[in-house]
Structure 1
Amino acid sequence: MKQPSPKRNKLRPPQVPAISLPRPALLKRLGEAAGDGRLLSLLRAPLGYGKSTLLAQHVLALSDSGLPWAWYRLDDSDNQPLELLAQLCHALELPIPDLTPGRAAEASLWTTLLNHLESREARFTLVLDDLHLLRSRNACRYLDELLRHPPKHLHLLAACEGEPAIALSHLQRDQRLQTLDVRDLVLDSGEIRELASARGQSLDSDLVYLLRAESEGWFSGVLFGLGTCSGAKLSDFSSVDAPAFLSQHAFEQVARFFHEEVLQRLAPPLLRFLSRLSVVSAFDTRLAAYIGGQDNAAQLIHQLQRQDLFIQQRKGERLVFRLHPLLRRTLYQSLHQQDPNLLNQLHLQAADWLLTQRHYAEAVYQLGRARDFNRLLAALEQHCFDLLREGQVNSIVDFLAKVPGENAPEHFTLAVTEASTVIVTNDITHASACLQRLQRLIRRHEVPERRSERIHQTLAFLRSRLAALGGNFNHGLRLVDRAMDQYPASSAATAVLLFNRAICLFSLGRAHQASSTAGRALAELEALGFSGYTNMLQLLLGQIELAQGDVEKAGARFLGLHSPPGAPGSFYDLFQQLGQGIVLLEQNHLEQAAQRLSQAEAIALAFPHSAGLPWVLHYQACRLLAQGETRLARSRWDEARRLARQFKLFALYRQIGAYQARLAGCEHDQDFILAWLKEWHGCRRRYGAELMPEEWLAYAWVQRHLGQHASARQIADNLHELAEAESLQRLRLDLHLLDATLHRDSGDREAALGSLEQALQLATRHGFGQLMQLEGQALGELFRQLLNPQTRRQLGLEQPLPPPERLARLLRGLHSEVDVAHQPLPEPLTRREQDVLRRMARGQGNQQIADGLYISLSTVKTHINNLFRKLDAGDRDSALQAARALKLVD
């Protein structure tokens, strides 16, 4: 036969846009995959998430490093096996002989390909783009064979929409598969800001958050949002006017993109089914069958999932599926234009089904969309707390705003429902308005007699919540105590009052009482059937456990809660994700903490009526600081404080300010210190000594910075008493670092080292993760002395040091000293020699070690000879035996 001609446009990567976004973290994961023993790195996400561009950026990096690669983009023609094999030969620049079509020709080409790949002596990367288009069993069997019996130096990268038709479970089992999915590929706020800047747009934080919330980080959606229309662009608008611009212009381009690239390819029955699903926010197979008019709904949903048509699965939710909001909006508007009567009918049908299945929040949303306000009010009155249990805070606030009628906001049911939302959203302005509305109802005697106690309990939990969030903790305690005396009947409202009391107690450092009070509130709410709102209490209890040094218990608490998928689900999932992020941060697992906090941020952005975002930003700043990104941490704290002030969350505003004051002391930022001192003294005059321990600790550090050592010492002594009485181990750790600094300032080296030893042992005992943050960075030289065996003997420090890996995390930045301190060798191993030794212990040969560490074969041999000399060994086996005896490797 005539050999197939090469299709050149399939054999090269797409051109990286001139204005592109570098994604170093993802590129690093792709670059390190081969060295970590991964055979295949799979980028799996719907259209428009930047998969091909990311792969193109990766092969550019390979080229810069002199590493060989080949690219092949699949299409439908590759389902003919002979065509696939011939084009792969072209991609590898292999000659193709004239062959007669048939299995013999396929076998010949396949043998040629395999032999070529087997003959390579260094790492080779093969990139397969659009792998989802390969569906033929006869074509897929060649890739299956390649993955089951891969050449030694082959590394595969692939991008696909949905699940590929090749077997991957054996790679997953053997830890040879790395998958990057939607959760990895979505853009975070920093990336959106960077992309906007590259396109000449300077977006403030409100616009960045708006764009991220609208797009849920979908790369193409962000790009459309950054596009121009009639010369106007997003950065030209304020945060008030920007939503209209995005809705009217950017969304038109998004809708056109979906119609051109996705929807027009669907068969009419499938498109009709998908359009009907756009009526609801979420669905399961039964609801889909009911409103979609298809008995085979489960099969159709599975088909849509396999094609990765922006259907997201919400594990653990009763309504387990949702459409991406931008696709849903596209379909919904088309349905509205084509048949508005059908749309209204579908809303009412959905509401009936949802009410019978006790999906109250979604049912109320459907009634609001259908503008059946009489049924909406009835559902609100009957299911107020059911709505809160479901965590659909956005829905409640949205439909309350849309209820018609001039006097509707004064309706008792609406007023109590609205008040109930603010105990979740922490929106102080909203809470104040609710207070005034309820007081007007009381003055006008419009409160039902049977609900009198309920209304007074509602007023009490609103007032105490305002006090807790505003930082007036003692006032909050008095309000709760008075309400519990006057209205003692147990209810959800009294449980919330206890929750507010626990917040105030913990804020003042009274951890034991806070823990018992929060536990009692949690038990009462669980007895009433609450499962969402309780996540807020779980977060508080976890924070108390972290403060008291029970890190493992706090971690287990959050792992036991429902974990949402990549797309935000319930508002209450925010507190579970935030809790896990805080635990990981405390343990110094910074990459995992970043992922959890990013998910928490996405949920907070998806619920704009909540005031959850500044808390997330605060802990993101702590994570950035732990990673040494001081500038970014400061910026994140600035944004968190701005939002906290905007939402009137003054307790959080003060807490963040305390952290920033400590950072300012480390950086000698006198202007910030003076501004913070002015605020601190204002709080001191207003609240007396009843300030948060974080504020007192920051004030002690500032006093030390200003040379007032006696004042700093007195504050430290007071805090030590509190920490001892309330078992506040995290505070004790910080105080030991302050003690060491004050001792060092006075020239008492031995006392300083003694305080550091207490900090080190305390961190080890309780599972805290790092000692080299904030002021600990300036104690590096003392920590080095503390690791010295001779110094420890002189000081009589008999407790052993933590294991090397643990010590390296605690003293991040002192890696070489940590390694040397734990190597019982006359001549310690270097970091690179340790890397080589570990790979030898895993059974890797010299060439594998060279490929994995990106060094030459001769360099590997030099390191191995050094290992033999230092370990007094003559071969690999004896070297490894000596290393294991010395506990240098497992």
Structure 2
Amino acid sequence: MHLPALKPNQLRPPADPHKGLLRIRLLDQLTSALDDGAVILLQAPLGYGKSTLLGQFARRLAGPFAWLRLTRAENQPLALLLHLHAALQLPAQARDTPQGELLWSQILADLEARQAPVTLLIDDLHLLNAAQAWHYLDTLLHDPPAALRLIAASEGPPPLPLAHLRRNGRLVLLGARELALDSEETRQLALARDVRLGSDALYQLRAGSEGWPSGVLFWFEAYREALHSTGQPPADLRPITRQAYAHARQFLEEERLRHLPTALRSFLEHTAVAQVFDAGLARELAADTDVAAALRQLQRLDLIIEVPHASHAEYRYHPALRNSLYQRLEQRDPQRLRLLHRQAANWLLVQRRYTEAIYQFGRARDLDAVLGIVDRHGFELLREGKVNTLVDVLDEVAGHAGNDSFTLAVTEASTVMVTNDIAQACQCLRQLYALQRRQAVPRHPERVQQTVMFLRSRLAYLGGNLAHGLALAARALQQFGQHNAARSVLYFDRANCLAALGQLQPAHAEASRALVELQGFGLSGYTNLLQLLLGQIELAQGASEAAWARLQNMAELPAAGSSGRFYELFRHLGKGLALLQANQLTQARHALAQAEVLALGFPHSAALPWVFHHQACLHWALGETSQAKARWAEVRRLALQYRLFTLYRQAGAWLARLALRDNDPDYLPGWLDQWHWCNRQYDQQLLPEEWLAYVWVQRHLGQRDKARQILATLQAQAQAQLNRRLLLDTLLLDAALHQDRGAHDDALHSLEQALQLACQHGFGQLLQYEGDAFLEALRQLLLPQVRERLALAAPAPPRERLNSLFRPLLAGREHADSALIVPLSRRELEVLQRMARGQSNGQIAEAMFISLSTVKTHINNLFRKLDVVDRDSALCSARELQLLN
């Protein structure tokens, strides 16, 4: 019998790409997952760097590994077994046999006999679709040898049954979202490719490519081509983007589209006229196609992105693929393309999906239909929240004659209320004033006046003139008594100004009123902004459970079509803040990263610098002070660009605190000049963050009496407004001032109040920022003799509470013995390390020359200090705290 040919190129990892990027973030994630015994599947479309990542991981492995890149030929079982046999480096002479089961038994025997772990890396798993071949891999998944670790890459879901792995918690799936390049990786890859770009260009590139590595590389190549042709960096990046899309079109055509059946290509082209579609719209656009079958096939090929909703699923294509499909149809049949746009528009209009409808009418060049929808359904357009689409359409119809321009101006102003784009808000005001000067008479004059006032009050809040914003909103509320959504927005503007000034009680009351009213008017997406503000207030007041419930409920708000995508940003941002306060820092990083991705996808929104601000706080909490400093510097640059001076001042205050913490005095003189200017300009109506930073600076400058005087005022405000987080900060500052004058017991009394407050209300901030310097003093407070000497009335917080609240923060510090509130002894640490090597209690006793009962005592102490109940949990906690390094 003729044996299948063995192809050596399938048995080695691919070489690292020229000027590539080492993806440390993902490599660390893969290492951690394999150490936990998981099976890892990289499942993403073409061009996401799966093979490159697998190759990098293989070269990073310390132990033995086997590499197997599959082709369709391995659907013949003997070919699969021959290559697997060779990948495991079993004796070559044993492969001169046509008996597949003999090879399989040798493979299993080798895996069962191995003492050291071996990692099997399988690339292109999606090509293995014959049941008689993949059942061998299925055997390894269902009953894996102890030494085997498995990681695979696939385009689309592989045909292997994986549900049992998911049920048992053994499957780690990394999809396109995880494999996408983030902003920092995009920057690093640009530097590796000798492309020098500013931050704004990188953000635009990250948003336009959605982190697709191949798309980013095509963009860099187009940039280098332009640079080579002119000899200087291009000022206009739009031609670069068009050329990059042309490169991507050729790539997708060669690698994927030309190999698809004609009917499926037609379905792709027709549905690509819609930004997002569901099965109903697909049937309207591709009437002769079995839509359900086509969608299933596209999911198998990983050519479609599913957006699940409560009652149905929606789909979209990656921008690069959609552009390729759109260009194919436009070049071949432009008349058909315009007809499809009109079909889509009419169907969406019937479904009351107005923003998508006007987008389709705009692409069909029917501007009268666009203006008609804006005129009749302006309120619904705001409620849908499809910010990019709406702003693009409004730009397109600007200056179109024959319509009540007040309607367009008010609709655009309502959109600006969501995006916080100050430049666009100013333009809206100028437009409304110009219309009024021409004595045009709007159909709803009070609505126009309210629009002017909520724009002005919003501008005052964003621009840092908070007292003026309060006055404007109050005047408008008194002047216009009509009960409508515009009036509710004025209450929201007042709530924002009050909250920024630290007046949390009235801010919560006014935001709650605005929320109830807007929900009564049927708004569901815009209200996420109010929910976020209320959640932030509740977090500051220590009502963590109420804040978390509020933020979680954002996800349950009904959404029309894909309209919730922009407003989803605020849910992720709120979750990140709640997790940060609870010291669940890994989860907080993930939530804020999701918020960043959404903010990047909405260039008309100024949300990105706010996300960056909270990411900077997270970096500091993690001890990554250099990253925090860089993030806040970028926040201030963007805030100046967007004229977001409230945020600019907040970030500046945090940077001042960080400069003191890192002994970096160069920043402080400029910040103090800014502080004094704001103090004169706003008559001491400053942000609590600014006052707090100013007191820390005064302490640093030796002005302790002045610092204590301002501190007393801050504490009084914190107590009056139930701002417990601010109170916590003032207690830490009070302890520092006591320490400066050598009053150590007074400092401990202040720290005791801070500790009790933090434990009662879940404030992980106790040890995140300046409080980190008080770690030893806080440990002293846990000692019974110290508490007795200080005559402290309250008992020490339970050890379980201390570990659950502060342990994640302390992970990864320089010394392992500081990774716990109560550190491990040297003997306990040795026992823990032997447990990690799999030794039994008896083996540990014998190796350490101690009794079995002493070993059990050490283990019980370990369980108590790690706040766990068994060995597996103890080892998991120890890895998290990096105690085994």
TM-score (norm 2): 0.92
| Residue identity opposite 1:24 in structure 2 | I
| Residue identity opposite 1:165 in structure 2 | P
* Aligned match of 1:609: 604
Q: 1:835, CA displacement in angstroms?
A: 5.4
The secondary structure found in structure 2 opposite 1:607 is: coil
Question: Deviations 1:467-523 (Å, cap 9, x if unpaired)?
Answer: 111111121111111111121111110111111011011111111111111111111
The secondary structure found in structure 2 opposite 1:651 is: helix
Question: Deviations 1:799-819 (Å, cap 9, x if unpaired)?
Answer: 224423434345564975667
* Aligned match of 1:764: 759
* Aligned match of 1:119: 113
1:717 to 709, 712, 717: 712
Question: Deviations 1:379-426 (Å, cap 9, x if unpaired)?
Answer: 011111211111111111111111164658981111111111111111
For 1:196-211, list aligned pairs within 5 A: 196-211=190-205
Assess if the C-alpha contact under 8 Å between 2:779 and 2:822 holds in 1: no
Q: 1:290, CA displacement in angstroms?
A: 0.8
* Aligned match of 1:81: 77
The secondary structure found in structure 1 opposite 2:42 is: strand
* Aligned match of 1:165: 159
Q: 1:323, CA displacement in angstroms?
A: 0.6
Distance in 2, matches of 1:360 and 1:237, equals 44
Question: Deviations 1:736-788 (Å, cap 9, x if unpaired)?
Answer: 11011111111111111121222222211111224333322333443343344
* Cα distance change on mapping 1:585 and 1:884 into 2, 3 Å: closer
Distance in 2, matches of 1:490 and 1:867, equals 78
Question: Deviations 1:839-873 (Å, cap 9, x if unpaired)?
Answer: 6xxxx943xx9xxxxxxxxxx99866577838734
Distance in 1, matches of 2:734 and 2:80, equals 70
Q: 1:5, CA displacement in angstroms?
A: 3.5
Assess if the C-alpha contact under 8 Å between 1:473 and 1:504 holds in 2: yes
Q: CA RMSD of the aligned region, Å?
A: 2.7
Question: Deviations 1:267-288 (Å, cap 9, x if unpaired)?
Answer: 1100010011110000001101
| Residue identity opposite 1:394 in structure 2 | N
Distance in 2, matches of 1:208 and 1:726, equals 42
* Aligned match of 1:735: 730
* Cα distance change on mapping 1:635 and 1:646 into 2, 3 Å: same
Assess if the C-alpha contact under 8 Å between 1:280 and 1:350 holds in 2: yes
Q: 1:34, CA displacement in angstroms?
A: 2.9
Unpaired segments ≥5 residues, structure 2: 870-885
| Residue identity opposite 1:124 in structure 2 | V
* Aligned match of 1:52: 51
The secondary structure found in structure 2 opposite 1:751 is: helix
The secondary structure found in structure 2 opposite 1:529 is: coil
Assess if the C-alpha contact under 8 Å between 1:206 and 1:239 holds in 2: no
Distance in 2, matches of 1:675 and 1:870, equals 64
1:493 to 486, 492, 514: 486
Q: 1:880, CA displacement in angstroms?
A: 5.6
* Aligned match of 1:506: 499
Question: Deviations 1:666-715 (Å, cap 9, x if unpaired)?
Answer: 23333311111111111111111211111111111111111111111111
Distance in 2, matches of 1:588 and 1:503, equals 26
Q: Which moves more between the two structures, 594-603 or 614-623?
A: 594-603
| Residue identity opposite 1:369 in structure 2 | R
Assess if the C-alpha contact under 8 Å between 2:111 and 2:148 holds in 1: yes
Matched, 1:686 2:684: no
The secondary structure found in structure 2 opposite 1:43 is: strand
Q: Which moves more between the two structures, 481-490 or 277-286?
A: 481-490
The secondary structure found in structure 2 opposite 1:34 is: helix
* Aligned match of 1:806: 805
| Residue identity opposite 2:77 in structure 1 | P
Matched, 1:41 2:58: no
Identical aligned pairs, as a percentage? 48
Aligned residues: 859
Question: Deviations 1:521-548 (Å, cap 9, x if unpaired)?
Answer: 1111111111110111111011101111
* Aligned match of 2:573: 578
Assess if the C-alpha contact under 8 Å between 1:410 and 1:437 holds in 2: no
Assess if the C-alpha contact under 8 Å between 1:457 and 1:483 holds in 2: yes
Q: 1:3, CA displacement in angstroms?
A: 3.9
Distance in 1, matches of 2:50 and 2:36, equals 21
* Cα distance change on mapping 1:481 and 1:349 into 2, 3 Å: same
Q: Which moves more between the two structures, 479-488 or 339-348?
A: 479-488
* Cα distance change on mapping 1:863 and 1:819 into 2, 3 Å: farther
Assess if the C-alpha contact under 8 Å between 1:464 and 1:476 holds in 2: yes
The secondary structure found in structure 2 opposite 1:758 is: helix
* Cα distance change on mapping 1:505 and 1:239 into 2, 3 Å: farther
* Aligned match of 1:24: 24
Distance in 1, matches of 2:95 and 2:412, equals 77
Unpaired segments ≥5 residues, structure 1: 850-859
* Aligned match of 2:531: 538
Matched, 1:523 2:516: yes
Q: 1:580, CA displacement in angstroms?
A: 1.0
Assess if the C-alpha contact under 8 Å between 2:119 and 2:148 holds in 1: yes
2:305 to 290, 308, 311: 311
* Cα distance change on mapping 1:607 and 1:832 into 2, 3 Å: farther
* Aligned match of 2:454: 461
* Cα distance change on mapping 1:264 and 1:558 into 2, 3 Å: same
Q: 1:203, CA displacement in angstroms?
A: 1.9
Distance in 1, matches of 2:686 and 2:19, equals 50
Distance in 2, matches of 1:639 and 1:819, equals 31
Q: 1:555, CA displacement in angstroms?
A: 1.9
Q: 1:316, CA displacement in angstroms?
A: 5.1
For 1:433-832, list aligned pairs within 5 A: 433-448=427-442, 450-562=443-555, 570-797=565-792, 798-801=794-797, 802-803=799-800, 804-809=803-808, 813=813, 822=822, 829-831=827-829
Question: Deviations 1:302-324 (Å, cap 9, x if unpaired)?
Answer: 11011101434344596611111
* Cα distance change on mapping 1:182 and 1:865 into 2, 3 Å: farther
| Residue identity opposite 2:625 in structure 1 | T
Q: 1:12, CA displacement in angstroms?
A: 0.7
Distance in 1, matches of 2:477 and 2:403, equals 28
Assess if the C-alpha contact under 8 Å between 1:42 and 1:177 holds in 2: yes
Distance in 1, matches of 2:270 and 2:296, equals 16
TM-score (norm 1): 0.92
Assess if the C-alpha contact under 8 Å between 2:306 and 2:313 holds in 1: no
* Aligned match of 2:319: 325
Distance in 1, matches of 2:579 and 2:819, equals 24
* Cα distance change on mapping 1:833 and 1:19 into 2, 3 Å: farther
* Cα distance change on mapping 1:771 and 1:871 into 2, 3 Å: farther
Matched, 1:379 2:373: yes
* Cα distance change on mapping 1:568 and 1:784 into 2, 3 Å: farther
Distance in 1, matches of 2:556 and 2:272, equals 25
Assess if the C-alpha contact under 8 Å between 2:385 and 2:564 holds in 1: no
Q: 1:371, CA displacement in angstroms?
A: 0.8
* Cα distance change on mapping 1:400 and 1:887 into 2, 3 Å: closer
* Aligned match of 2:831: 833
Distance in 1, matches of 2:107 and 2:19, equals 37
1:869 to 843, 850, 869: 850
Q: Which moves more between the two structures, 226-235 or 249-258?
A: 226-235
* Cα distance change on mapping 1:873 and 1:667 into 2, 3 Å: closer
Q: 1:122, CA displacement in angstroms?
A: 1.3
Q: 1:142, CA displacement in angstroms?
A: 1.2
Assess if the C-alpha contact under 8 Å between 1:552 and 1:767 holds in 2: no
Distance in 2, matches of 1:505 and 1:821, equals 38
